[in-house]
Every structure is written in C-alpha cells, then in structure tokens.
Structure 1
C-alpha cells in the first residue's frame, strides 16, 4: 500500500478548479501518483466557504471543488493535529510570526501525519519548523 505523501493546500486545490490550471501544476499532478496526494478537512471547509459566498455560482463552484479533490480520503483535524496546532501556534506567536488559523491547522495536520505541504503560499508555511513545503504552482 502506498502512503500519502503530499497534503494539497487550499490555493493548490483552488488552482485545480480553474478552467485553465497552470501547466506546472498539471505536470506535477500527472507525475505524482493519485494515492500520494490528499488534502485536509480544513482546506475543504475553506473552499466550500468561498463557494457558498459566490451566490448564484455556488452550485457550479461546489461541483468543481468536489471534482478537483484528490481521490485519497481527506485528512481530518484530529487529536494529534490539535496537539501540533497548540504547540505550533504558541511557537509562532512567541516568534512574532503567526500565519493565520487555517494555515496553522493545515501545517499541524501535515506535521502530525508526516506530510509535505503543497502550496503557492510558501512564505507562510516556511515559518513552520520541521515542515516540508513544495510549490507546484510555479
């Protein structure tokens, strides 16, 4: 059984919902096994929030979001992630470099599950000690 390796951040999944995703992203998706990538319940909640704010387009956007989700099960924000989140948020705030609640939760999920975060928002996630980050959007 192949273990999931990559946790797609909100901006990466969002890019997949566009009518014309970037060539760089499509290439990485094509060369990475489906079983190797997933996303989190936090990312799904952020995407659905944005879709439901879109009014008349919300049904179309929800459909596109669901189609863009990796086939692997979503990784939840569980007890292990909560422990990482508490430690990480305290550390980042003490350093004066907080990254926002959703990004901290996504980073915590990645740390708790030993996953690489795939994001275009490298600047935020590079502040997280011990987190591996890749940008498939560039």
Structure 2
C-alpha cells in the first residue's frame, strides 16, 4: 500500500458535487494513495440514508470511487490517538468533534495527510499534515 492521503467527509462530498479543485486532484492522484476512514464511510452512509433520492443518483459514482480507494478501519491505535487529541484540545479550551478527532487519529497513526476544506478544525492538532484540495494548496 502506498497511501498518502486520508480524505475527510467534506472532501468526499466535494468530489460527488463535482467541485473543480477536488476533482482535479483526485484525477491526478493514484487511487492507491487515497483512503478514507470507516468514520468517514459512516458519515457518507448517514447522509445517503437521510436523502434516498439523492443517494440513488450518487450510488454509481460513489460505489466506483469507494471501490477504487482504501477504506481504513478505525482500530485500537486510532482510538487511542483520537482520545489523546480530544483530551488535549479540551484541556486547552479548544474542544473538537468526535468524528474529526477520530479522522485525525487515524491519519496520525498511518502517517497520512488529512485532505479537508475544514482546515480550521484540524489545524489545531499538532503534527497533523493538512491539504485543502478545493484550493489545491498542499
């Protein structure tokens, strides 16, 4: 496996919406370099269940995309890293949502860059590499 990038939910959403910068970077990046966490997979599935009509339209695109990339399971080491992130940020008066800290924990454990347009939330996490493919900033 040659993984480099862990896409968060907003990046996958940007992809299915056809956001130009995200589409360009996904096309330029080998599928074996891209992953999502099972946390992001859950968030995607949740969104689809809330809107079955949209889900039916997106299913072919999403299914092909998810089949081409790696879906990393959220494991014990990820949980420990996420807990440490969440505790440190809470103690410093900067709470973070559980899903974002789980995605960050997974990225840190696997040495991946988080690809997100939500850089404000993630930039508070020490040692985490971020990229925003909407702007092509890396």
Q: Does 1:23 align with 2:20?
A: yes
Q: How does 1:114-125 map to 2 (within 5 A)?
A: 114-125=111-122
Runs of 4+ off more than 2 Å: 55-70
Match of 1:109 among 106, 111, 131: 106
- Partner residue of 1:9? 8
Secondary structure at 2:68 match in 1: coil
Q: Does 1:84 align with 2:81?
A: yes
Aligned-residue offset at 1:62: 4.3
The TM-score with structure 2 as length reference comes to 0.89
Single out whichever of 8-17 and 53-62 deviates more from structure 2.
53-62
The TM-score with structure 1 as length reference comes to 0.89
Unpaired runs of at least 5, structure 1: none
Cα distance between partner residues in 1 of 2:22 and 2:97: 25
Cα distance between partner residues in 2 of 1:36 and 1:12: 15
The alignment's C-alpha RMSD in Å is 1.6
User: Residues 39 and 70 of structure 1 are in contact (CA less than 8 Å); yes or no, is this contact kept in structure 2?
Assistant: no
Q: How does 1:4-83 map to 2 (within 5 A)?
A: 4-18=3-17, 21-69=18-66, 71-83=68-80
Count of equivalent residues? 135
Match of 1:127 among 124, 127, 135: 124
Structure having the larger proportion of residues in helix: 2
